[in-house]
Chain A
Amino acid sequence: MELRCVRTGVILGSLVALAVVGCATGQTTTITGSGDPVADRQRLMKNNGANWAEIQAKVKAGNAEAVAVNAEALSLHAQRIPSLFPAGSLTEKSKAKPDIWQKWPEFQAAAKNLENRAGTLRDQAVAKDAAAVTATVATFGREACGTCHTPFRVPPPQQQPAPPRS
């Protein structure tokens, strides 16, 4: 009898706690994602790539000041990256390496690094410092994208070397 009461208590307590957690997090999870973290993060990273392509195009066209909007998009998107890699979200469609979850603090730091570098680029563009923008852009691929993609993403298939001319 006593044991039954105890069990009931444990179950009751658990239900109360789950209900409380559900209410507390309910409002913030309504429109935040599709429920498919792989699709969500691939979409986010595609937009990162598109913003980065536009940054390069603007710099090439001598319009370095205009990259601020793209750099700020990169910086804000970067804040979300860790939340889009929940444990156990490695599927066949994902190019993520399992090292992400084995070295989680390094992964977080790499995302933070992108956030900071993109923030620097944004500030340089806002300050209309074209020379600084150009310098940051020159190393951005290696020092921002690369610090995460090199250790944590399966590399895209290598381009076949051009066949020798006969």
Chain B
Amino acid sequence: MKLRYVKTEVVLGTLVALALASSATGQSMAKIWTSDVVADRQRLMKLNGASWADAQAKLKAGNVEAVAVNAETMTLIATQIVALFPQDSLTDKSKAKPEIWQKWPEFESAVKNYAMQAEKLRDAARSKDQAATEAVAKEFGRQACGTCHTPFRVPPPQQQPPSPPQQLQPR
């Protein structure tokens, strides 16, 4: 009898605590994404890629200051990346490597590094310093994108080397 009370109260206490915890975090945990986390993160990373392409095009056109909006978009996107790689979210459609979850702290710091590089790009662009912005941009692919994509993403299929020109067979 005594034991049953204790059990009941443990369950009750658990429920109360869960209710409190979820109401405390409920609004800030408001659902942001869809139920397909792979599609969500691919959409997010597509915007990263498009923002980076836009930034490069502006740099090429000598429009340094305008790079800032793309770089800031990328830093804001970066804050979402880690949350979009929950455990067991590796599907056929995903290019993620299982290393992400085996080396989670390294994955997190790669994302952090990406955010910091994007901030560097943004600040250089905001200061209208063309040389500084170009210097960050020049290394960005390797030092921002690459530090995460190289260890943690399955590389896209290699371009087929152009086939040797076909020799016409003498008849």
Of the stretches A3-11, A127-135, A136-144, A153-161, the one at the interface is A3-11
Residues of A within 8 A of B7 (CB): 9
Residues of A within 8 A of B135 (CB): none
Query: How far, in Å, is B80 (CB) from chain A's closest CB?
Result: 7
Residues of B within 8 A of A10 (CB): 9-10, 12-13, 16
Judge if A32 is at the interface, Cβ distance under 8 Å.
yes
State whether B83 touches A69 (Cβ < 8 A): no
Judge if A94 is at the interface, Cβ distance under 8 Å.
no
A13-B14, A16-B14, A31-B111 known; A73+B51 contact, CB < 8 A = yes
State whether A32 touches B70 (Cβ < 8 A): no
Bound together, the chains give a CA A21 to CA B70 distance in angstroms of 36
State whether A79 touches B33 (Cβ < 8 A): yes
Residues of B within 8 A of A76 (CB): 43-44, 47, 77
State whether B66 touches A28 (Cβ < 8 A): no
Tell me how many residues of B have a C-beta within 8 Å of chain A.
53
Bound together, the chains give a CA A7 to CA B6 distance in angstroms of 8
Judge if A33 is at the interface, Cβ distance under 8 Å.
yes
State whether B13 touches A14 (Cβ < 8 A): yes
Residues of B within 8 A of A13 (CB): 9-14, 17
Residues of B within 8 A of A16 (CB): 10, 14
A27-B82, A50-B69 known; A6+B5 contact, CB < 8 A = yes
Bound together, the chains give a CA A127 to CA B12 distance in angstroms of 56
A5-B2, A68-B50, A72-B47 known; A50+B72 contact, CB < 8 A = yes
Residues of B within 8 A of A12 (CB): 10, 13
Interface string of A18-47 (1 = CB under 8 A from B): 100100010111111100010000011011
State whether A17 touches B2 (Cβ < 8 A): no
State whether A2 touches B47 (Cβ < 8 A): no
A17-B21, A54-B69 known; A25+B115 contact, CB < 8 A = no
Q: How many residue pairs between the two chains, A and B, have CB atoms under 8 Å in the bound complex?
A: 130
Judge if B90 is at the interface, Cβ distance under 8 Å.
no
Judge if A87 is at the interface, Cβ distance under 8 Å.
yes
A-contacting residues, B1-56, CB 8 Å: 2, 5-18, 21-22, 25, 27-30, 32-33, 43-44, 46-47, 50-51, 53-54
State whether A5 touches B6 (Cβ < 8 A): yes
Residues of A within 8 A of B51 (CB): 69, 73
Q: Which residues of A contact B (CB under 8 A)?
A: 2, 5-18, 21, 25, 27-33, 37, 43-44, 46-47, 50-51, 53-54, 66, 68-70, 72-73, 76-77, 79-80, 82-83, 85-87
Besides A69-B51, A79-B33, 15 other A-B contacts (C-beta < 8 A): A10-B16, A13-B14, A16-B14, A18-B21, A25-B29, A28-B83, A31-B108, A32-B82, A37-B28, A46-B72, A50-B68, A53-B69, A68-B50, A72-B47, A73-B73
